[in-house]
């Protein structure tokens, strides 16, 4: 299929020279044969990166990746992973070690494990996410360098892994840099570490790398599919089975190792928030069976409407950061996902904006089961290094990996390519390439980005952004009541001069739970409550409003929020406190959503 082939060309060819073992991201890792490498990992904090560089800042061949041990009494080895402290993986070091709460730099992680090689099987080392730069080694051999803190990556280690004890070592560096994605400044906590699952996946020599299923928008009973094998193997047979639909058909790969075709489904029940129907799907190649649960639905726009399964839908949404409740830390489990999504459901949401980066796969899959639609986003946030070719390549890679992982999730309806980026030619060239890239990978979903509205002349706001022609949905952030007087809201008019649906992707303001006072007293719950009252009344007047994702579900940690006694390094714009307590504004939005 075109989008899968482009994925391989774009995301793999450019890195293969540096990362000899890196392969295209495996799809549906959660349902593959695998060995978990989660658990206790030894770690060493390396402030000056002496484990990677010599004293002249040249990479050293004697680095920590060697896991060296003294062989004679006089040998000098100034580190020992086996004597180092341990940290539970997946996690973030900021909330696991008090010394590292604000730390940005390098930490080395090491895991030893036993393995028995299996004839005819390949071994693939898979990382769900590492923030931000990861340099991975197995048995002292470098596997590759990966940048980006919220997307998965994997290495074929078949020729490196051995019978008996094996040692994985990862240098993790979360320092902020201008050329990074996100760049140096962002309004969330820079959680460092191996923040998602680590697996050793076992496959046959020839295996299904990835696949996708799309429902035809016109017929609604034709399912188009594409399957990619890991090699250019012609004549390989894959059997597709969807028992509930009485589908069992076999197809053969072409010379590129690709299988494409159509399935006809009778009496297909479409996935929707009211009925999040998922079908058991099995893909059989040889003796191996890969199972998934997949929903089928259509998403499109018609003028200023968003159509789900051909019918208009209002997206009752909320923005969410990937952070645990009760003290923060990176959310990384199904339990975390259930807790956050239950809060959104109580609010009345059928939609969540997973800001400002791809969230854990558990979050997306759990939302799908609960009937919650998803906006998924890459962290092209504020002012990226627009002229840097490496930054663009990094953003494309993250976009590719986000789409590859979640392309079969029925609830994902919007790929977002940016948030609050300043207007300018360089920005528009950069984002136009991202929009084009997203469409080449997935033409079935909607493209959007969160534009920025900072001011209005004479209470008339006319949205003007040259990116309008690249997106399917016009989305923008506005903070009347917080960065502009809330009394302006009743006077404000909005002009969106594009025949496209509108999502207000952010609005809101801060309040500390339990702080009460007059409605014009900032930081009180009454201030936030009044802000929401004025905003929802104003938003009701916007022509073509198809949904909102207010900022934000719960208070979250941010180093930019330093006001003692109020913020205490939390962004307080949540409708819930970090401890899950509802603020007064919660009920305003909940009541408004009941009418939608």
What residue has token string 């399935």? Answer: 263
Cβ(559)–Cβ(190) below 8 Å: yes
What Rg do the C-alpha atoms of the chain give, in angstroms? 25
Q: Say whether both 517 and 388 belong to one domain.
A: yes
Q: How far apart are the first and last CA of the chain?
A: 39
Burial of 61 (0-12, 13-18, 19+ CB in 10 A): exposed
Contacts of 265 (CB under 8 A, 6+ apart): 221, 222, 223, 242, 245, 247, 296
Question: What CA–CA distance (Å, rounded) separates 145 from 134?
Answer: 6
Work out whether strand 39-46 and strand 106-115 pair parallel, antiparallel, or are unpaired. antiparallel
Question: What CA–CA distance (Å, rounded) separates 429 from 421?
Answer: 12
User: Within a domain: residue 213?
Assistant: yes
User: Residue 369 CB: number of other CB atoms within 10 A?
Assistant: 15
Q: Say whether both 286 and 178 belong to one domain.
A: no
Question: What CA–CA distance (Å, rounded) separates 240 from 294?
Answer: 13
Render 161-227 in DSSP notation, one character per residue: --SEEEEEEEEEE----TTSSS-S--SS----EE-S-EEEEEEESS-EEEEEEEE-TTTSSEEEEEE
User: Within a domain: residue 574?
Assistant: yes
Question: What CA–CA distance (Å, rounded) separates 519 from 524?
Answer: 7
Q: Say whether both 414 and 540 belong to one domain.
A: yes
Where does a domain end: 272, 300, 328?
A: 300
Write down the pLDDT at residue 16.
41
Read off the tokens for 404.
């590859």
The sign of the dihedral angle between the CA atoms of 480, 507, 396, 105 is positive
Cβ(375)–Cβ(416) below 8 Å: yes
Q: What are the Cα distances from residue 275, in Å, to 292, 384, 419, 546, 594?
A: 18, 40, 31, 21, 18
Give the single-character DSSP code of 401. H
Give the residue from 358, 34, 318 showing the smallest Cα distance to 195. 358
User: Within a domain: residue 449?
Assistant: yes
Q: What's 17's domain CATH number? A: 2.60.120.260
Q: Say whether both 534 and 416 belong to one domain.
A: yes
Q: What are the Cα distances from residue 339, in Å, to 44, 363, 553?
A: 32, 10, 12
Contacts of 486 (CB under 8 A, 6+ apart): 480, 530, 531, 534, 535
User: Within a domain: residue 383?
Assistant: yes
Q: Say whether both 260 and 365 belong to one domain.
A: no
User: Within a domain: residue 306?
Assistant: no
Give the residue from 239, 240, 233, 283 showing the smallest Cα distance to 254. 233
Q: Say whether both 85 and 230 belong to one domain.
A: no
Q: Say whether both 217 and 328 belong to one domain.
A: no
Residues in the chain: 596
Where does a domain end: 256, 278, 300?
A: 300
Half-sphere exposure of 106 (CA within 13 A, CB side): 15
Q: What are the Cα distances from residue 57, in Å, to 50, 54, 134?
A: 9, 5, 18
User: Within a domain: residue 305?
Assistant: no
Residues of the chain falling short of pLDDT 70? 1-20, 454-456
Q: What's 317's domain CATH number? A: 3.20.20.80
Q: What's 263's domain CATH number? A: 2.60.40.10
Question: What CA–CA distance (Å, rounded) separates 106 from 403?
Answer: 29
Read off the tokens for 508.
């809101």
Classified as helix, coil or strand, 6 is helix
Domain coverage including residue 232: 208-300
Q: Say whether both 166 and 257 belong to one domain.
A: no
Cβ(329)–Cβ(558) below 8 Å: no
Burial of 119 (0-12, 13-18, 19+ CB in 10 A): exposed
Report the helix count and the strand count for the chain, using DSSP H and E: 8, 35
Q: Say whether both 453 and 550 belong to one domain.
A: yes
Question: What CA–CA distance (Å, rounded) separates 334 from 445?
Answer: 25
Q: How many domains does the chain have?
A: 3
User: Within a domain: residue 157?
Assistant: yes
Write down the pLDDT at residue 243.
97
Question: What CA–CA distance (Å, rounded) separates 238 from 250?
Answer: 6
Where does a domain end: 185, 204, 223?
A: 204
Which H or E element spans position 393? helix 389-406
Q: Say whether both 234 and 369 belong to one domain.
A: no
Question: What CA–CA distance (Å, rounded) separates 131 from 129?
Answer: 7
In 421-501, beta strands by DSSP E = 446-452, 460-462, 474-477, 493-495
Q: Say whether both 352 and 251 belong to one domain.
A: no
Q: Say whether both 83 and 223 belong to one domain.
A: no
Write down the pLDDT at residue 10.
41
Angle between helix 389-406 and 2-13 (nearest 10): 140
User: Within a domain: residue 320?
Assistant: yes
């Amino acid at each position: 299929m075109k989008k899968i082939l482009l994925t391989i060309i774009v995301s793999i060819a450019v890195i293969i020279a540096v990362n000899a073992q890196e392969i295209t991201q495996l799809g549906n890792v959660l349902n593959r044969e695998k060995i978990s490498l989660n658990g206790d990992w030894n770690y060493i904090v390396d402030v000056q990166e002496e484990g990677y560089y010599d004293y002249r800042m040249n990479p050293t061949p004697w680095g920590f990746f060697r896991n060296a041990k003294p062989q004679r009494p006089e040998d000098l080895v100034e580190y020992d992973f086996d004597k180092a402290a341990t940290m539970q993986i997946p996690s973030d070091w900021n909330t696991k070690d008090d010394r590292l709460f604000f730390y940005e730099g390098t930490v080395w992680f090491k895991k030893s494990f036993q393995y028995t090689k299996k004839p005819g099987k390949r071994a693939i080392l898979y990382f769900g996410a590492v923030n931000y730069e990861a340099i991975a080694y197995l048995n002292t051999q470098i596997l590759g360098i990966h940048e980006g803190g919220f997307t998965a990556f994997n290495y074929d280690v078949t020729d490196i892994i051995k019978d008996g004890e094996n040692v994985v070592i990862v240098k993790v560096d979360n320092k902020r840099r201008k050329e990074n994605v996100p760049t140096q400044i962002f309004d969330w906590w820079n959680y460092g570490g191996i923040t998602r699952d680590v697996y050793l996946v076992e496959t046959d020599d020839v295996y299904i790398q990835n696949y996708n299923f799309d429902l035809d928008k016109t017929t609604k009973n034709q399912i188009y599919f594409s399957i990619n094998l890991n090699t250019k193997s012609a004549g390989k047979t894959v059997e597709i089975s969807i028992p509930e639909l009485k589908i069992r058909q076999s197809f053969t790969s072409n010379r590129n190792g690709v299988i494409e075709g159509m399935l006809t489904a009778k009496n297909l029940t479409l996935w929707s928030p009211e009925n999040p129907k998922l079908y058991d799907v099995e893909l059989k190649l040889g003796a191996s069976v890969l199972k998934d649960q997949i929903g089928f639905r259509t998403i499109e726009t018609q003028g200023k409407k968003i159509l789900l399964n051909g019918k208009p839908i209002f997206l009752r949404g909320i923005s969410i950061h990937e952070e645990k409740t009760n003290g923060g830390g990176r959310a990384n489990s199904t339990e975390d996902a259930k807790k956050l999504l239950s809060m959104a459901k109580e609010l009345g949401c059928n939609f969540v904006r997973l800001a400002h980066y791809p969230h854990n796969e558990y979050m997306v899959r759990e939302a799908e089961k609960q009937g919650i639609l998803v906006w998924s986003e890459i962290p092209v946030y504020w002012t990226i290094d627009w002229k840097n070719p490496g930054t663009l390549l990094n953003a494309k890679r993250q976009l590719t990996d986000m789409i590859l992982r979640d392309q079969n999730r029925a609830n994902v309806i919007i790929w977002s390519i940016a948030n609050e980026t300043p207007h300018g030619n360089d920005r528009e060239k950069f984002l136009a390439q991202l929009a084009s890239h997203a469409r080449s990978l997935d033409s079935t979903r909607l493209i959007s980005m969160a534009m920025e509205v900072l001011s209005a002349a004479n209470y008339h706001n006319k949205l003007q952004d040259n990116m309008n022609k690249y997106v399917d949905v016009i989305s923008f952030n506005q903070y009347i009541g917080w960065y502009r007087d809330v009394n302006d809201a009743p006077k404000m008019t909005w002009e969106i001069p594009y025949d496209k649906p509108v999502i207000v992707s952010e609005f809101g303001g801060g309040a500390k739970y339990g702080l009460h006072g007059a409605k014009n007293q900032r930081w009180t719950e009454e201030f936030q409550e009044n802000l929401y009252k004025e905003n929802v009344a104003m938003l009701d007047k916007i022509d073509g409003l198809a949904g909102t994702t207010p900022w934000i579900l719960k208070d979250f940690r941010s180093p930019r929020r330093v006001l003692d006694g109020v913020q205490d390094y939390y962004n307080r714009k949540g409708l819930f406190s970090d401890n899950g307590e509802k603020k007064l504004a919660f009920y305003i939005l909940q009541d408004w959503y009941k009418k939608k």
